[in-house]
Structure 1
Amino acid sequence: MRILIWHVHGSWTTAFVQGPHTYVVPVTPDRGPDGLGRARTFDWPDNVVELPPERLRDAGIDVVILQRPHEHALVEQWLGRRPPMVYLEHNAPHGDVPDTRHPVAELPGVPLVHVTHFNRLMWDAAGADTAVIEHGVVDPGPLWTGEIPHAAVVVNEPVRRGRTTGTDLLPTFAEAAPLDVFGMGTDGIAGHLGLAADRCRSHELDQRDLHVAMARRRVYVHPIRWTSLGLSLLEAMHIGMPVVALATTEVTEAVPDGAGVVSNRMDVLTEAVRDFVADPVRARLVGEGARAAALARYGLSRFLDDWERLLKEVTR
């Protein structure tokens, strides 16, 4: 099967392209949002093929994975036909939640796939066929050492996204442990928050280096108020990190008892960070529980099997 998919979400796509198909990603000379091509900071297999838009008509595309509303028009323009399509929604709704209407409502005959049950519950899909295929993660292995008694946070563009990503909560967490904030657009975060450099450091790393750097920190903190389900949280669990997270969106499903501390009380969360930093033996045990839980629910094989079943349904 030849699947057309835009390179929109690097971590998710890295898992998706581990399947048995040929994955065609558009590439444009400027490598802009509609033609980013193959990933440069993720390891993708050779069955991911870059093609410019003008070559897609003859590429034998069997099915298209839409991820943004305007991609439907690009399919008509670039392929000159309408192959079977699936709309994959990565995000929780914004706007008038829970009354936010999903764009798939304007695309009759296109099934909608959510990555969490929370998202399915909260989006108004207007009667479209919907399904949930939960995340899968390429296992980075049990990398955790916890040798650095800091808390790791992974968030992109924390200054711009503000309360959505819990950026305003970081000073409170920094009182419990020094923070290492990883992600794009994190440079200057300490100054923005008025934190001393020894309480908050920023790091922008390639994906290949990120997991190793995370694993050296004692605990993973997930301060995000409103997101679908951060893949960085699931990756931290796979690594074997104990996690401390807000009890929002899908987190309560993803982090069971024994895998970390989940709460909406800041006093409970900061105390958990202090405890893990002070007790590396407990941090290791809880991290092992987190890894076992992540492998059981968010393993790559289950994820690929779920997608294989759905793709066969929409193309038969």
Structure 2
Amino acid sequence: MSEPQAVASRYADRRLLWKAAIKWPMYSVAVMPVLLAAGWQFGVVGSLRWLQLGGFVLAAILLLLWENLSNDVFDAATGVDATGKPHSVVNLTGRRDRVAQGSTAALVLGLLLMAGLAWNSSGAVLALVLVCCGLGYVYQGPPFRLGYRGLGEPLCWLAFGPFATAAALVVLQPRGAASIPWGTAWILGAGPALATTLVLFCSHFHQVEEDAAHGKRSPVVRLGTARAAALVPWFVALTLALEWVPVLHGDWPPTVLLSALGCPAGVQLMRLLQRHHDRPELISGSKFLALRFQGWNGLGLSAGLALARVWTGG
């Protein structure tokens, strides 16, 4: 290979690494709670504050950016990303301090924007978002690092489920509403949050050896790849069950069954992990299949809720 070709190859490889580091598809997990809340407010309640919706989307993206960058910073401290994650932002830049500064800036901007949204709705919004941020920190940050103890998945479900969904509902409901709609938040957020948790769960499969070597006892490390892969169909089935039971009960319109849009990706994911759960080179993209399931499932559910107004003739 000539020198110009070698330079072009290195440039292309670095672009691919940066694309993997940015992980733009992952931000669907940040915006899904507010999209679900928007579908509910528009289709079921009959009102929607569009400016608040846009502000929450931007703030949620900034807060997930903080989560992702700080995760790289904290993992760099333990060495778990030293060899198995060349697309870590810390590895790409070689500047852990600068990445930490960028992470802090994203957190501050996100919280300031959330504070503005809370000013236009209710102080409960900021409190709920701070709980979500706290759950995100204890998952990865010292001295807690609960993700290293296999507790990342329940923390993920709580953060992206009832708490984030409750915050989004309060942001979008009319100003001065008296209370946090916890009942709606739990029912609305439970299934989609399980799909989000599946993304985290699947991110462990291709790095079992690295995680075990650095003391990260993820569920996949604890269970082994075969038993962990056998749980994936249960994740998918329970996600759909939590979303479809309200339809069978008559509480939600049949349009909610659009959440089945995620099923093809869910089936692909189950087949991939069933066949190749112990072959990291073949399943490194499993989390993106899980993300496709999460994204299409959540978008279908949001659209189905929004269409409730049409279904009922409202």
- Coarse TM-score class (shorter-chain normalised): under 0.3
Calculate the TM-score normalised by the size of structure 1. Answer: 0.25
Calculate the TM-score normalised by the size of structure 2. Answer: 0.25
If asked which structure has higher relative contact order (CA below 8 Å, sep 6+), I would say 2
